[in-house]
Amino acid sequence: MIDINLIRTNPDKVRKNIKKKFQDSKLHLVDDVLEMDSQIRALKQEGDSLRAERNTMSSKIGALMKEKRIDEANEIKAQVVKNNERISVIEKDVSELESKINKAMMTIPNIIADDVPIGEDDSKNVQDRVYGEPIVPDFEIPYHADIIEKLDGADFAAARRTSGQGFYYLTGDVARLHSAILAYARDFMINKGFTYCIPPFMIHSSVVNGVMSFEEMENMMYKIEGEDLYLIGTSEHSMIGRFMNTIIPEEKLPLCLTSYSPCFRKEIGAHGIEERGIYRVHQFEKQEMIVICKPEESEAWYNKMWNYSVELFRAMNIPVRTLVCCSGDLADLKYRSLDVEAWSPRQKKYFEVCSCSNLTDAQARRLKIRYKKSDGTNELAHTLNNTVVAPPRMLIAFLENNLNRDGSVNIPEVLQPYMGGMKVITPKK
C-alpha cells in the first residue's frame, strides 16, 4: 500500500504508475481517494470546531446555574446536545470514509522501480544473465513423472484416490532426495547468516490482507471453514506477519530469516493443475528467505538474495537464468521482482523455480511494521522475500539435469552428506 501523502502531493505519479501496470480500470481510485480525503478533512475540521464550541458552552452552564439564569443555561444545554449529535454523525461519516479510503488504497498498486521493463504480462519479461551451460544430452530425457516412477519414487494413483488431482506421494530415494534438498537449502542459508525458523502454517485474515492483494488471496488461499484462519501459500505470509504492529530497534536490522513450511495453494487460473506430475500442485514444501531492513538497504539486499538462489542451484549442477519481471507481471505490492529459472533439457527451455521481490514499504504500511531510529522517530521498514528452493518443482530440474542414459541420477557432492553418502540413485523399475 502506498502512502496517501503521495496521492495528495503527486497524484499524476500514481496515475502514471497505474498505467505502467496496465490497470487503467483503477485510475478512478486516485480521484476517489482525493475526494474522500477532502471530505474527511472538512468533516474533522467541523468536528473540531463543534467540540471547541461545546467545551466553551459547557463551562458557561455552571456559572449560569449559579446565577439562577436557568433558561439561558437550558438553551446552552440544548445546543450542547445538538453539537454532540452532530459530532456523532461526523465521527460515523469519517469512519465510513476512512474504511472506503483504506479499501481503495489496498487496491492501488505500489510504485514500481524506474528501470522495471514495461509490458503487459510475463511474455515481456527480460532475460538478464545465464549461469551455466544449458546442455541437451544426446539421449532422450523422459517426462519427469516417468523418471520418478522408474526410480520407484512416487505414487500418483494412490494420491488421486486419497486426495484428488494435484497431490502425490513421494517414496524411497526420491522422497529422501526431496528432504535432502530442503535440508541443504536450510544449511546453505544459515551459513549465509540467516536465522532458521519454522512458522505457523495457518494465519488470520488480518495477516493475509497485509501481505497480499485480495485477488491473489482469492486465487491462492484455502480458508478453514468456520474460523478466521487460512492455510499459508508460502511461509513469507506468516514470517512477515510475525512483525505486524511492532517497532523494531534500529540496531536489530536487518532481520535475515530463512523458513521452512508446507505450502497450500488452490492454483485457480488459466494454467490449472497439471494432469500428471509434480510441477503445479496443491501442496508442496519450500525453504524461503525474507529480509526486513532499513529503506536505504533494501536494494542491496534484493541483489544479494537472488544471487543466493543462483549459487544454490549451480551447486547442484543446474543451469539457470535470471529474468527481470515487467510491470504487468508484478503483483500490486511489488516494487521490483526477478525470477530465477532453471534449465529443462527435456523441454529445451527455462522454467521458474525462484522469485525474488522487493516490496519496499508496501507490506510494512499495511501491517504497521516500523523501526525506531537513533533519533527516536519511527519509520516504516522495507520487506523482501525470495524462494530459496521449492521442491517438488525444483526436483524436476534436478532430475533432468543430473539424469544419466541408463535412467540413474547423479547426486551432487553438496547433497551426498544428506543422502547418507549416496552418489547415484539407480532405477528400481
Tell me the C-alpha distance between 401 and 34, whole Å.
54
> What local confidence, expressed as pLDDT, does residue 391 receive?
85
CB 252 within 8 A of CB 228: no
Q: Tell the burial category of 61 from Cβ atoms under 10 Å away from its Cβ (0-12, 13-18, 19+).
A: middle
Residue 196, strand partner residues: 258
Q: What pLDDT digit, counting tens, does each position of 272-312 carry?
A: 555 677 888 889 999 999 999 999 999 999 999 999 999 99
Tell me the C-alpha distance between 41 and 48, whole Å.
10
**Least confidently predicted of 202-216, 226-240, 264-278:** 264-278
pLDDT band at 165 (very low <50, low <70, confident <90, very high): confident
Q: What is the DSSP letter of 420?
A: T
> What local confidence, expressed as pLDDT, does residue 73 receive?
78
Position 358: which residue type? N
CB 362 within 8 A of CB 110: yes
Position 152: which residue type? D
pLDDT band at 61 (very low <50, low <70, confident <90, very high): confident
Q: What pLDDT digit, counting tens, does each position of 175-222 carry?
A: 999 999 999 999 999 999 999 999 999 999 999 988 876 667 777 889
pLDDT band at 270 (very low <50, low <70, confident <90, very high): very low
CB 334 within 8 A of CB 356: no
Q: What pLDDT digit, counting tens, does each position of 252-262 carry?
A: 999 999 999 99
Within 265-377, strands assigned E span 283-293, 320-324, 336-344, 349-358, 369-372
pLDDT band at 146 (very low <50, low <70, confident <90, very high): very high
> Where do runs of H (alpha helix) occur along 242-389?
298-314, 362-367
Q: If you average pLDDT over every residue of the chain, what do you get?
A: 92
Average pLDDT for residues 6-22, to the nearest whole number?
97
| Main-chain phi, psi angles of 282, to 5 degrees | -85, -20
Element of type H or E holding 223: strand 222-223
Asked if the model's pLDDT at residue 406 lies above 90, the reply is yes
Structural domains in the chain, CATH included, are 4-107 (1.10.287.40), 122-425 (3.30.930.10)
Average pLDDT for residues 367-390, to the nearest whole number?
96
Tell me the C-alpha distance between 394 and 314, whole Å.
12
Q: What is the DSSP track for 10-75?
A: -HHHHHHHHHHTT-GGGTHHHHHHHHHHHHHHHHHHHHHHHHHHHHHHHHHHHHHHHTT-HHHHHH
> What local confidence, expressed as pLDDT, does residue 269 receive?
53
